[in-house]
Structure 1
Amino acid sequence: MVRGAEPAPAARRVVIGARTRIERSGLDLVIERAQGWFERQQYPEGYWWAELESNATMDAEYLLLTHFLGARNEHLWRGVAQDIRNYQRDDGSWAMYHGAPGDVSTSIECYFALKLAGDRPDAPHLVRARAFIRERGGIARARTFTRIWLALFGQWSWDELPIMPPELMLLPPSAPLSIYRFSSWARGTIVPLLLLMDDRPVHPVPDSARLDELRVADAAPRVPRDAIDRLFRGIDGALRAYDRLPFHPFRERARKAAEQWILAHQEADGSWGGIQPPWVYSLMALHALGHPLDHPALKKGLLGMHGRWMLRHGDGRLRVQACLSPVWDTGLSLLALVESGVHPSVPMVQQAARWLLREEIRVPGDWCVQVEGVEPSGWAFEFENDLYPDVDDTAVVLLALHKADALDAETRERALRWVLAMQSRNGGWAAFDKDNTSRLPALIPFADFGEMIDPPSADVTGHVVETLGAFGLARSHPAMERGLRYLYAHQEKEGSWFGRWGVN
């Protein structure tokens, strides 16, 4: 052969064709192995479920919670404390997510929890953590929620936290700052905090666990950002003046409403809202009201947290999860299997479909506040979260069941009516609520910790539109027209769409 010569055209086609066949054969083998993996990993009940990774605050707040409740278990504490240590980064910090920069609030909570667990302050990992926190202003620069945790143990003053009066419970749903103007996750967290911030309990910690060394001279919480921020700081000042008055005619009624709301919203597994934040604050609020640990709600809450919410590792570590994801995991897994060629008659497909059908929610929830007269349906993310079915899970589950030929007509029509009723005025779909778009909740001084509302998003809307199309709804259907307009309007400049709920 002559160096650099090209093969004849016919020979080149043969080589490329052979390579393509080999590549396809390799891809088929990969798919077949993946399908076998799913078969081995399926639980006997029919679902799939993997860890929902979060960050070390889940562990830290478990230790703080059980110290507050007087429910410390040394075996569990050792395992959870070890998991917190394993999360720590080389610079001494703890981060909000894998690969994120160190976060001062997260680091403060982890540092505090480890001191409560008995770690010596001169231990190298705490020395590094202390340096990181102090370099960033100490506890005065922490988020409001972290400073609430510190106030519960006398390490921050309740007087230096924003005011949230319990009377918010008495506002009608249409009021600007009604609890139903907040997202479902913020709502479930705020209600118990209204009681805690009114009671201002302080559970002492040993001197060895105090955080005096994290107080940095001249450090203070952030200053107002703009005129709107200054306005809401002024409103906060007026609420403080009201709070100092000797007489609050609606206070007890509001407190009772908050307590009843908490008790009515506990799920079957002991959680609130199927996520960690409302769970821990609800347990502490009920305890602060005087309920003992053997009260049914407290007992169920602690038992649930010590069940499958706590992952046990072979090296002794224990990890508290922020949430459980079996419905989401199973819906996506089933969809992947049938899309990759597994026949609907295969037992693992039928088992998964039957489990998902049993998980349909048939009771009213908080979504009914904005959506009246619609028969309950939908699917939640978790094993138990009947009060908060979400549109995203529902769309994926319906699509998976449809492609698995497992969706009966009655369930299909009921779930479809629910999904269509949850469409917001702007044409999009949100996760848990309809038209939960007020900007006011994010402007209050209390709201420095993350998202406070649940507006429509492109990822959820995209899942719904895909499912509606699979169900045969034409582009001319009003819901499809509005959903597509929403998606066109929310496309990013480079052509993508934003995934609010992860990398969707």
Structure 2
Amino acid sequence: MASDVQRGLDAARDHLLARQAEPGWWKGELRTNVTMDAEDLLLRQFLGILRADELEAAARWIRSQQRPDGTWATFYNGPGDLSTTIEAYVALRLAGDDVDDEHLRIAREFILAQGGIEASRVFTRIWLALFGEFSWDDLPSMPPEVVLLPSWAPMNPYDFGCWARQTVVPITVVATLRPVRPLPFALDELHTDHRGPGLVAGVVGTGFNLLDKALKVYDRAPVKPGRSLALRQAAEWIIARQEDDGGWGGIQPPWVYSILALHLLGYPIYHPVLAKAIAGLDTFLVHEDTPDGPVRWLEACQSPVWDTCLAITALLDAGVTADDPQLRRSIEWILGEEIAVRGDWSVKRPELPAGGWAFEFANDGYPDIDDTAEVVLALDRVTDSVPEAKAAVDRGLAWVRGMQSKDGGWGAFDADNTRRLVEKLPFSDFGAVIDPPSADVTAHAVEMLAHCGDPGDPALQRGVRWLLDSQEPDGSWFGRWGSNYVYGTGAVVPALVAAGIDRDDAVVRRAIEWLAAHQNADGGWGEDLRSYVDDDWRGRGESTPSQTAWALLALLAAGEADSEMTGRGVAWLLEVQRDDGGWDEDQYTGTGFPGDFYISYEMYRLVFPISALGRYVRLTDGADAVEPV
């Protein structure tokens, strides 16, 4: 008889295989918050292409996401967020909801109590300025001349992280042209006498505040040397980075702002660039039927490469062999996704050949280190059966090694993207704007180099040193792209062990002690996203399948396969597993911008538990059923 663990693993494996798309990839839904939907409606309203059925379906979705206290949050069961609530409120007004309706009344009370429109983030106020509900004069200046700055100059576009640079360049166009197309209603009820966010503090902040005032004077000048050139250059910069799917970077913010910028520069919506952009954006829409009627919501991004490489690893961990037809199909698909062209990353690494993978179906300009490391780890395990994978592995290794930052760590998309000066700009309030090395990305790169490269590689040793130096005083590691210290710790421990750090080393033991101290009474692990802004939440939250799996992966790598702590974690996964082999997970466990923007990856609740259970079975030689929770 197969053990309970083996039966659970087999069921999960079969569930994952059943979800594979015909071409070979996997892609789960990627949920964020309703600002995606509100801004999509406002974009279409501004362009004059909003259809009544789209508006009705999106409004139905937005209403369904309102919290009992009248607010909208940035993650499941999170606290109400002012800017998100304002944008949802405006979208529902656009859909015809009356200001006296109860759901808008209680939303409005929260908005006013928090300072109204004037207290919202810059991006929310930009959207409202487009419709005359906020003055462009009261927004920070964003000159398009930044696109003319050379890459060595402070505050040039390449000082920003790739997601921010692709957003900032088109926004400078929008903020310079300052269009106003009024809504069919006013939002007087959301305004207060609040003065809005204060000036940036400190000496550097004072300099930027003075610069902002000077730029406002320049904006009013009758002659602006370089302005026309900057606008033309910005348009060329934007168009040059449009991807095959019509988007920019495969993510919502640069996509919508690039559409707005080009439209305002005179490109009609039927122009091939904009027609392709709008059609591509439509492919990010998810349509569902509900008892209340059809709903429609927008994915901020899609993650097929990331989901597929993690699925390949999970299936290999579950014992599926490389000659399995479905696994072979996924390997062939992901080999075809390798990026062979140079993107913005080459500004800092001009001599480095291409050889990475991106997150999305179409994002040739921005491969990322995290995806590339995980793809290489997966492909390296099948090179004996799939010889053509070896060359791709070697190119991926070389590219990741070449993208190491000076301090020994790795960021997600760029090398040495660490100039914090841009964080002080008055309009940089929309989350992370730079891409410095992080523990989780560095861990994945180190693990890749340890398993697939030369153990004596200086890049590997420098990466290990970076990880050792970045351990938190309590023994954990910060998780930049997943929530949070559980994610960081779950990534770093396997990497350090793979790189040769002894399982009994104090660094590893302190990490295991931290995981032990944060295991929930039910046997699982969870961490609320509020840990990014409140240390009281570090390692604390309702147990989730993905976070429990991350903790187990660290424990198994550290030699804790037979420990009671590991057994309880495995038992919890089996206890909450669905009959079809999958798991439910309402909580968001992915991170876009710490403290500001969070993500629910549908596939996390499946691929990571499979890897954890598969490695547990292998390390315990098919252990019998663990004691139930």
TM range (shorter): over 0.9
1:52-201 alignment runs, 5 A limit: 52-201=30-179
Q: Does 1:499 align with 2:479?
A: yes
1:168 and 1:224 map into 2 onto residues whose CA distance is: 20
Do structure 1's residue 346 and structure 2's residue 330 form an aligned pair? no
CA distance in 2, matches of 1:330, 1:135: 45
Aligned mates of 1:224, 1:305 — CA distance in 2: 35
Q: Aligned-pair distance for 1:361?
A: 0.7
Range with greater deviation from structure 2 (407-416 or 417-426) = 407-416
Q: What is the deviation of 1:343?
A: 1.1
> Secondary structure of 1:84's match?
helix
Q: Per-residue deviation at 1:404?
A: 2.8
Do the aligned partners of 1:138 and 1:219 also contact (CA within 8 Å) in 2?
no
Q: How many residues align?
A: 478
Q: Give the CA deviation at 1:80.
A: 1.1
Q: Aligned letter for 1:454?
A: D
CA distance in 2, matches of 1:125, 1:171: 47
For 2:422, the equivalent position in structure 1 comes to 441
Taking the TM superposition and a 5 Å limit, the aligned residue runs for 1:405-424 are 405=383, 406=386, 408-424=389-405
Which amino acid in structure 1 is aligned with residue 416 of structure 2? D
Counterpart of 1:239 in structure 2 is: 215
- Output the CA distance in 1 between the equivalents of 2:446 and 2:189: 54
Q: Distance in 2 between matches of 1:480 and 1:453?
A: 24
The whole-number CA distance in structure 2 between the counterparts of 1:95 and 1:226 is: 31
CA distance in 1, matches of 2:453, 2:213: 55
Equivalent residue, structure 2, for 1:371 = 349
Give the letter for the 2:198 counterpart.
R
Q: By how many angstroms is 1:229 displaced?
A: 2.3
Q: TM-score normalised to the size of structure 1?
A: 0.93
What amino acid is aligned across from residue 478 of structure 1 in structure 2? Answer: P
Tell me by how many angstroms 1:477 deviates.
Answer: 1.4
- Looking at structure 2, the residues matched to 467 and 375 of structure 1 have their Cα atoms a distance apart, in angstroms, of 19
Aligned match of 2:205: 229
Which segment is superposed worse, 181-190 or 282-291? 282-291
Cα distance in 2, alignment partners of residues 201 and 34 from structure 1 = 52
- The answer (yes or no) to whether the contact 2:289–2:295 under 8 Å persists in 1 is yes
CA displacement 1:93-116 (0-9 Å, x = unmatched)? 111111221110111111111111
Q: What is the CA distance between 1:228 and its match in structure 2?
A: 3.0
Q: Which residue of 2 aligns with 1:395?
A: 373
Structure 1 residue 45, shift from structure 2 partner: 0.4
Counterpart for residue 189 of structure 2: 213
CA distance in 2 between partners of 1:152 and 1:174 (Å): 33
Q: Any gaps of 5 or more consecutive residues in structure 1?
A: 1-21
CA shift for structure 1 position 126: 0.7
Could you tell me how far apart the structure 2 residues matched to 1:256 and 1:218 are? 37
Letter paired with 1:288:
L
| One-letter amino acid of the structure 2 residue matched with residue 280 of structure 1 | V
Question: Taking every aligned residue pair, what percent have the same amino acid on both sides?
Answer: 49
| Corresponding position of 1:4 | none
Shift of 1:218: 4.2
TM-score when normalising by structure 2: 0.75
1:422-461 matches, within 5 Å, as 422-461=403-442
How far did 1:301 drift?
A: 1.1
One-letter amino acid matched to 1:418: W
Q: How much has 1:219 moved relative to structure 2?
A: 4.3
1-structure distance, mates of 2:75, 2:346: 34
Counterpart of 1:3 in structure 2 is none
Match of 2:533 in 1: none
Residue number in structure 2 paired with 1:328: 306
Quote the Cα distance in structure 2 between the aligned partners of 1:380 and 1:357.
12
- Residues 116, 194 of structure 2: 8 Å contact kept: no
Give the AA of the match of 1:467: M
Q: Secondary structure at the match of 2:266?
A: coil
> What per-residue deviation string (whole Å, max 9, x for no partner) do you get for residues 444-479 of structure 1?
1111111110001110010011111111421x3110
State the partner residue of 1:285.
Answer: 261
Q: Measure, in 2, the Cα distance between the counterparts of 1:479 and 1:193.
A: 38
Deviations 1:330-376 (A, max 9, x none): 01111011012111111111011001000001111111111112221
- Amino acid paired to 1:422: M
3-state DSSP of counterpart to 2:286: strand
Partner amino acid, structure 2, of 1:314: D
Tell me the amino acid that sits aligned with residue 284 of structure 1: L
